[in-house]
Chain A
Amino acid sequence: EIVLTQSPATLSLSPGERATLSCRASQSVSSYLAWYQQKPGQAPRLLIYDASNRATGIPARFSGSGSGTDFTLTISSLEPEDFAVYYCQQRSNWPHSITFGQGTRLEIK
């Protein structure tokens, strides 16, 4: 099973600042990586898929990069609504398997 490790566990920033979240895979996942945002009491929301493609309706301040084992989610200028928990997720074939990282909590400083 591919393990995803996210860092940091908690990130404290102020609105307007740039946020950089990391996700590292235990083995290569090529570009098969997604990022989700989850707010309290809500279902997760897909932000980025295939490492760098923004999902429908996602603001341009969210961007993803990386391939292989190292990936980054960047929020260029934090808005108040961006403070939430972020998860990365990978998928693989044969056997069909999907795993999530443990999450990064982005909190207001």
Chain B
Amino acid sequence: EVQLVESGGGLVQPGRSLRLSCAASGFTFDDYAMHWVRQAPGKGLEWVSGISWNSGSIGYADSVKGRFTISRDNAKNSLYLQMNSLRAEDTALYYCAKDTRLGGMGLYYFDYWGQGTLVTVSS
């Protein structure tokens, strides 16, 4: 059974940093791209960032480019999101999601999702 468990969320002041983690199990982690998707309270879905299986392809939403960094550790079956210079508008539930495509360098769709970790940016 595929499991994605996010951690690292919490309350943080504007301008500060936070690092999210996602522990994956139940599939061959280093075969798939992985993503972070967020959802502000009562709002729609927003893709934040994605990384290919070998970290060779990385993409970011314009809203986080230059502030957030995605990474992965295939030996630990883990995905990370380093979030710097946080803003109030980054407040959201952050989901870790598995890509649908096996291998390759593209970023496609999301077939498994975690339950999310809540990030609140407020003074």
Contact = CB atoms under 8 A, between A and B. Distances in A.
Nearest to A98: B47
A18 to B, nearest CB: 24
Contacts of B100: 46, 49
Nearest to B57: A96
Given A91-B107, A98-B47, A100-B44, 12 more contacts: A34-B109, A43-B113, A45-B113, A46-B111, A89-B45, A89-B110, A91-B106, A96-B57, A96-B58, A97-B59, A98-B35, A103-B45
Interface of A: 1, 32, 34, 36, 38, 43-46, 49, 55-56, 87, 89, 91, 93, 95-103
Interface of B: 35, 44-47, 50, 57-59, 61-62, 95, 100, 106-111, 113-116
5 contacts: A43-B113, A43-B116, A44-B110, A46-B109, A99-B47
